[in-house]
Structure 1
């Protein structure tokens, strides 16, 4: 059968133009909703969710169409390199990587480029008769570069970078801990330290032996905008985004005010850490209940329909997409069931894997990797993961 190449070409270009217009409309909708805001040039700031404040850059082609969304790693670079030490390579490929990690605090401080101290200097202002000092107002200043980090009051106590390491060591009462990551964000305004907790969560011990590693992190601010925080989280902090993810996904966290006794009173921090480990044991028990709960393929299909509802009057395109998603998830579940058994845990792993690595991303002109990074930046799949976990727990009862 002969084909009209001119008609085919016209149809293809029409589809491309419509896709570009749809992409532009979707991006503008996010601006109109207040989810993101332009901050000059091709840079935008996330305005909602746990990642409010993060920025990204939009790269466009010659015709103004979006090609890439580039998330900002946020690491401090004022010392000439990225301020990061990590035991595992990060997604951005920056920092000093020491496989297996090290235990020496001084070495981590140096490798993470946070071996500097902070001072408080009086806030000065110019007046007719010269320079005056503001009452009870101080600037926090990096001792190595002289860079101003923030403005604080007289009662504000500086937590030096080295002291944060000592705090975590005292908290867990271990001085041979392996440090997983350390570094600075936003010009040194925030500093983070992460150690691995010796007690991991193990799903189906003696069977699957599926391990979930938890980390104890301290996030300290030098700009006076927030208290220091300790969090127990599955995230190893390695950039501005994972710092936010660590706080968002923390199984427990507690703040430490910048006062003289802030880092010396450990009883409350140890109580909070104890509560966290109790929560981790509860989560481990929930996951083990999922392992022990058989799940038929039909039940998994019902879970898919619960997570992704399709309206009766949905367009054919939406129905086709739902059908493809259904088929892909069905195949993934059967694969997981072959490895983990046909149970609720395999179903949860399937949903998580799909949301993290397989779910289609928009706009379609983005590369898969960058688009997924942007979706992670905004935490777009967290609610679905939590809903899947709750729905599957219902089956265990």
Structure 2
């Protein structure tokens, strides 16, 4: 018969728990020291490297101050079965969503896994007046045919472009029906959807120097709320996590959009010809980014670019000056991180600016949106594209100085 000393066993178990907690803390601190993550508030951190770059997560701690949980703030919709409305061909968002390693070519499978397997219909816009139900003849509502959830108010001529049409559009765009789908997902209850594919040829920035690989993607963003268009964006960008570094370059088209009308399908067919210039875009993109990567800049140069993008008036209030100082400090932090990886160059400066805009700059969410959804929507719609374009043009001037 074996006799167990419960006091000794308890002490041993506690020792093992403490050792595990120390290892978890050490591993977490090591990621900070390696520049993989950084603190942005006492309990919130941002990923700086890898597929999840830019993602924000919350660390919870127990009464002893030990890490006891990490929760990703993904901002994606949740399906009826409680799973995240996201399909991906590789792990992202801390492994959330439905992942098929290597991806799939099956549209039906992606529609199901991403939660996009519904259609959108329009129904009459009704209102109650003195006990009588009346119809607003010039307006209709868009609704999901699976749940009946209202998505938006639209005009009488509005014709939904269905989720499946987004997949078929991308197939026609690249001229292939064996396209491997990269990602697809929902935002705001299905009001906005995104679908992306990866183009086969990677883009290399400064092949003889930093040899930074940028993967080109083509993404479709569709809006069912009546507040946006069906859009296609050709860009070095991964919708679910990375910086949206799409810049206007010479002799290339990066964005195409069409309104939701009865003739939209015919117009979509014309997009293939328009977006055929995407190959020229990525060639030009690589050339311009390589020029930036080969241009060393001083911190003073970087601060001058910041001043051009966000000028500070001489009579600015103290509040405005404090906000400006915080912005400069945040940009300096990101620039230092980028400079350690690719050198103190105009390329690092550009990546610092895009990273700041996508993941750090204050973003005021709407009443029904979290901050993360607000950021995701801004990224998808290119809310900061003009600022990024201005930064790109300004930094290119330094390459010719």
Q: TM-score range by the shorter chain?
A: 0.5 to 0.7
Among 375, 396, 399, the alignment partner of 1:393 is 396
Alignment partner of 1:152 is 2:137 = no
SS at match of 1:177: coil
Shift of 1:182: 0.9
SS at match of 2:256: strand
Among 119, 122, 128, the alignment partner of 2:121 is 119
Provide the TM-score with structure 1 as the length reference: 0.59
Measured at CA, do residues 147 and 279 of structure 1 come closer, stay the same or move farther in structure 2, by a change above 3 Å? same
Map 1:42-57 → 2, pairs under 5 A: none
Structure 1: distance between partners of 2:277 and 2:121: 35
Contact 1:215 1:233 in 2 (8 A): yes
Among 259, 272, 275, the alignment partner of 2:274 is 272
Structure 1: distance between partners of 2:330 and 2:229: 44
Contact 1:76 1:185 in 2 (8 A): no
Structure 1: distance between partners of 2:333 and 2:150: 52
Structure 1: distance between partners of 2:92 and 2:84: 12
Structure 2: distance between partners of 1:272 and 1:377: 25
SS at match of 1:264: helix
Structure 2: distance between partners of 1:394 and 1:283: 15
Measured at CA, do residues 81 and 328 of structure 1 come closer, stay the same or move farther in structure 2, by a change above 3 Å? closer
Shift of 1:111: 0.4
Structure 2: distance between partners of 1:259 and 1:377: 23
Choose between structure 1 and 2 for higher RCO, CA contacts under 8 A separated by at least 6 residues.
1
SS at match of 1:254: strand
Deviations 1:298-333 (A, max 9, x none): x524424535779xxxxxxx9xx9xx9999899868
Contact 1:234 1:249 in 2 (8 A): no
Contact 2:237 2:246 in 1 (8 A): no
Residue number in structure 2 paired with 1:204: 206
Measured at CA, do residues 387 and 377 of structure 1 come closer, stay the same or move farther in structure 2, by a change above 3 Å? same
Structure 2: distance between partners of 1:287 and 1:132: 58
Measured at CA, do residues 80 and 205 of structure 1 come closer, stay the same or move farther in structure 2, by a change above 3 Å? same
Aligned residue-pair number: 303
Deviations 1:148-188 (A, max 9, x none): 22233332212121111111111221112221111221111
Deviations 1:125-151 (A, max 9, x none): 445575444425332221211212223
Structure 2: distance between partners of 1:326 and 1:114: 37
Residue number in structure 1 paired with 2:235: 233
Deviations 1:11-50 (A, max 9, x none): xxxxxxxxxxxxxxxxxxxxxxxxxxxxxxxxxxxxxxxx
Shift of 1:102: 1.7
Among 221, 224, 229, the alignment partner of 1:222 is 224
Map 1:248-287 → 2, pairs under 5 A: 252-266=254-268, 268-287=270-289
Residue number in structure 2 paired with 1:194: 196
Residue number in structure 2 paired with 1:162: 164
Q: CA RMSD in A?
A: 4.9
Residue number in structure 2 paired with 1:55: none
Structure 1: distance between partners of 2:152 and 2:372: 34
Among 88, 91, 101, the alignment partner of 1:89 is 91
Provide the TM-score with structure 2 as the length reference: 0.58
SS at match of 2:267: coil
Measured at CA, do residues 290 and 112 of structure 1 come closer, stay the same or move farther in structure 2, by a change above 3 Å? same
